[in-house]
Amino acid sequence: MQQKIIILDFGSQTTQLIGRRVRELDTFCEILPYNKFPKDDEGVIGVILSGSPYSVHDKEAFKVDLNQFIGKYPVLGICYGAQFISYAQGGKVEQTGTREYGRANLETIDTETAIFKGFEKGSQVWMSHGDTITAIPEGYRVTASTNDVKYAAYANEDKRVWCVQFHPEVFHSTQGTQLLKNFVVDVCGSRQEWSAASFVETTVQQLKEQVGNDRVILGLSGGVDSSVCATLLNKAIGKNLTCIFVDHGMLRKDEFKKVMEAYNGLGLNVIGVDASEKFFKDLEGVTDPEQKRKIIGRDFVEVFNAEAKKITDAKWLAQGTIYPDRIESLSITGMVIKSHHNVGGLPKEMHLQLCEPLKWLFKDEVRRVGYELGMPERLIKRHPFPGPGLAVRILGDVTREKVRILQDADDIYIENMHNYTMPDGTSLYDHIWQAGTVLLSTIRSVGVMGDERTYEHPVALRAVTSTDAMTADWAHLPYDFMAKVSNEIINKVKGVNRVCYDISSKPPSTIEWE
């Protein structure tokens, strides 16, 4: 039986980071809404309560019956989770009027308590809360304090409950990973069996049981997610998999041809469909980013439906949906960050069941699975590319001419990135999580070429470093590289006379502009 940690999400921006850190401990975890604790899951070995944008005193604050798990499993409360446990069990949480945000140091630490094993006095942590715990429930004791926060951490070892008002999951908590390891491995008893090899073995067997001898259709995009998904399915069901690659006209330059060639050595049965006319027609005049995504998602399904009818015995549609896709598509607060065209189910008229073998994986885990499957490195190392393609990298409406401009500029950017050698001998491309070019087609700027005035569009270059796309920092690209790329784009791409570089991180900005 697979062990798992349940992370109850109370709406924090960093809930996914908790999950990511637990996975780094080779332990499977599942992020669930705060009110969806599984009652009969025998694999649960521990529970983590996340932070929240709310105060425990807010009328709309998320609240849960702690009796579902306290006394039954080890529990770790983080920030709001710690405050809610105190509040619900007779302690006191007060609105002090002073928001505690940023770095702090644990000046007193009880290293005898399980989660602080190996901690050093003065260990740096990250605070982010408006309320503070001013009294803890009966039977609990303080286990760590800062100069300003008496109850930075408290615990009741008899009930197996540990609480911290700081965020161990973030980078700025320097021993945060140690705290989570102490909880997940030492307290909860994780066998640390979650790995790429175990995932492949388990998932191949599950796919065989799930689809049997049925025929499965998979939408290929050329990206690592769908490629790994296809290879995994091929390993499980072989010839019963049919892959369809839809060209919506907004792929990278020459992408359709390159992708079809890339799959030749994988033994996949791939059908290529050029549906660009339909997509461009339906996107005509549309400027709203969310509407673009919905139109492309709808058209993708319609094209797929038409192809599916030709494969009369198909019963399943497989998709390379990964965990961050599902997390970003709908939070528990009801706020959609951005919709993903392969998230949210299928229209009834497709008459196909949905198969998503990668739905629990973060992006770096997908890549590790790809290596485990023996896939070509050129496919595994490809940067993420949005399902709607360049449509969400063009501000404003989408036309063939704008796509042509962006394809040419982006091709120069990415090829130069491949060709730029870093001090360690690898390419700059391999140091970047994701890079792409954005066409600011709603803006024109004045320029001069030769003796002539120009009035054309700027493009923005984007490059970020990350491990899972839940957070990302802008990449510090070499100046000589940026100078070469800028000069080449302006000289070679008709319609562009200015190149900018995006230096915003996620959060607050998303990786894509739309």
What distance in Å separates the CA atoms of residue 132 and residue 178, rounded to the nearest whole number?
24
Is 221 annotated in a binding site? The answer is yes
Half-sphere exposure of 501 (CA within 13 A, CB side): 15
Comparing CA positions, the residue from 128, 21, 62 lying closest to residue 332 is: 62
Average pLDDT over residues 113-124: 95
The predicted model scores a pTM of 0.73
Is 214 annotated in a binding site? The answer is no
Active site residues: 79, 167, 169
Among the four given CATH numbers 3.40.50.620, 3.90.1300.10, 2.40.50.140, 3.30.300.10, the one describing domain 394-501: 3.30.300.10
Which CATH code for domain 196-381?
Answer: 3.40.50.620
What distance in Å separates the CA atoms of residue 387 and residue 279, rounded to the nearest whole number?
13
Contact call for residues 358 and 366 (beta carbons, < 8 A)? yes
Contact call for residues 12 and 466 (beta carbons, < 8 A)? no
Average pLDDT over residues 222-233: 92
Report the residue count for the chain. Answer: 514
406-455 confidence digits (pLDDT tens): 999 999 999 999 999 999 999 999 999 999 999 999 988 888 776 677 88
Is 223 annotated in a binding site? The answer is yes
232-260 confidence digits (pLDDT tens): 999 999 999 999 999 999 999 998 888 88
Q: Which residues contact 48 (CB under 8 A, 6 or more apart)?
A: 5, 6, 7, 8, 18, 22, 29, 75, 76, 77, 78, 81, 183
Bridge partners (DSSP) listed for residue 31: 7
Q: Where exactly are the structural domains of the chain?
A: 4-187, 196-381, 394-501
Average pLDDT over residues 197-215: 94
Among the four given CATH numbers 3.30.460.80, 3.40.190.10, 3.40.50.880, 3.40.50.300, the one describing domain 4-187: 3.40.50.880
What distance in Å separates the CA atoms of residue 184 and residue 195, rounded to the nearest whole number?
16
How many other C-beta atoms can be found within 10 angstroms of the C-beta atom of residue 189? 11
Give 190: exposed, middle or buried? Use CB within 10 Å, 0-12, 13-18, 19+. buried
Same CATH fold, 394-501 and 196-381?
no
Contact call for residues 270 and 241 (beta carbons, < 8 A)? no
